Amino acid sequence: MNNFENFRKNYPSFIFRSYNISESENNIDIDFDFEIVGLAEFHPNWSFTKPENFSVKNDITFERLAFSLGMAELVSYWKATCSPDIIVECGELSSEQIEWWKKLWFMGLGEFFYMNNIKTDIENFVDVKSTGRFNNTTESNLPESTGCLVPIGGGKDSALTLETLTQAGLKCRCYAINKRNSITATVISAGLPESALITAKRNFDRSLVELNKQGFLNGHTPFSSIVAFSAEITAYINRLKYIVLSNEDSANESTVAGQNVNHQYSKSFEFEQDFHNYEEKYLHTGQYYFSFLRPLAEFQIAKMFVSHKKYLSVFRSCNLGSKVSPDIWCGECPKCLFICLILSPFLSRDELTAIFGKDLLNDTSMEHYFIELIGKSEHKPFECVGSIDEVNLAVSLAIRNYLAENQSMPFLLQKYIDMGLYSPDTIDERNEKICHGFSENNLLPEQFRSVLIKEMERLL
């Protein structure tokens, strides 16, 4: 019997016992109570800054939002034992809602199942029972919402979204979970005051880490769904109409070749559609959730982003580096290498070295990540990276630039040539196809679609 089966046998029940909403003068706090029966209790909490003269007392819409955030959070704790039963003792879930959550968890845990060699399916990985009720029945009667809430992660994508929308004259506030230096610097670089940034504090229950040290299951969860539900709460209490994400078309590609295992599932268009529909049917906030960059590939975004030089010294996309204060580029992970590669056709070697603090294209220790990124491995890196085709295009364009300028070829680019992958005759055709691509699988309102097309025409 493997660990997965053993844990499920020994800990058959996971309970979402309660959520508690409390208000102070300046904050709205939500405390959650989860339990793996016979093993551990977990008490994560969130704190949201409250606008003046605002209250969520007896507000059923806010209750739905708080409960939903708990449903997004619980999977991080459930995965320690993958208990076959989840019992929801608070809130209310119809059978259709239960199927919605099961789909999110199953698809969002694809990497977790793959890395832990867990063989299961969407029907049998968990059974969900809802026994609770909402405390309130009063629908909110708030003024109509306006303006945009733009979640900022500190990377190039959200910086491009914010820059484009502010330059188009749209009213924008920014949103972050647990503020970091690169996030604040992005907001300021966009010409907004620091007060335009709304921060929610997420306090993760660290007792889960101790369980992981003891050998209980660990792995990737759909964090972007937590961003979605917490952003929905922030937009609701601040009366902001549009929640404007910065997820791109490239996020739809599976991480594992030939399998539906996507590290970025909760950034995919499939999840975006599902969330949009769930909000309309069950949450009733009046907010509109969509991704501004959904029609574009990472390659297009990179090409547009580099025209805004003011962000080059402040943006950060490294997950390992985000755990350091101030956040940095670690220069050792596949995410750092991907960003370097996708920017390499548009920035000089010196400019790239200035960003990452080292010459990543000439770093022999990055060879195995490079092989994964160009699609010559069983899977791409389990990171938020672009598609294999656009990485190969970026590498090919960079090689052509080095050859045209008679510069010495960095190690990774020479490796690409030595593998027989460099095909100069197809570069222009591939470049034209990607740069003029515009996926119609998007939820952009017409106003935002027009802004994006105009910016594409200007920069591409």
Query: Tokens for 447?
Result: 């106003």
| Residue 133 domain-assigned (yes or no) | yes
Name the domain boundary from 241, 272, 291: 291
| Residue 400 domain-assigned (yes or no) | yes
Report whether 42 contacts 34 (CB < 8 A): yes
138 and 276 together in one domain: yes
166 and 220 together in one domain: yes
Over 80: is that where the pLDDT of 334 sits?
yes
The number of distinct structural domains making up the chain is: 2
401 and 284 together in one domain: no
How sure is the predictor about 43, in pLDDT bands with cuts at 50, 70 and 90?
very high
pLDDT in tens, 60-82: 999 999 999 999 999 999 999 99
Expressed as residue numbers, the domain containing 337 is 324-437
pLDDT, average across residues 405-424:
96
| Residue 298 domain-assigned (yes or no) | no
Report the pLDDT value the prediction gives residue 143, as an integer from 0 to 100: 79
What radius of gyration, in Å, describes the C-alpha atoms of the chain?
A: 23
DSSP β-ladder status, 45-49 and 27-36: antiparallel
φ, ψ (nearest 5 deg) of residue 22:
-130, 150
181 and 222 together in one domain: yes
pTM for the full predicted model: 0.95
How sure is the predictor about 256, in pLDDT bands with cuts at 50, 70 and 90?
confident
Nearest to 124 by CA among 18, 205, 4: 4
How many angstroms separate the Cα of 107 from the Cα of each of 34, 104, 175, 301?
Answer: 22, 5, 26, 26
pLDDT in tens, 210-223: 999 999 999 999 99
Report the pLDDT value the prediction gives residue 1, as an integer from 0 to 100: 54
Query: Tokens for 26?
Result: 């300046």
40 and 124 together in one domain: yes
119 and 227 together in one domain: yes
| Residue 445 domain-assigned (yes or no) | no
| Residue 24 domain-assigned (yes or no) | yes
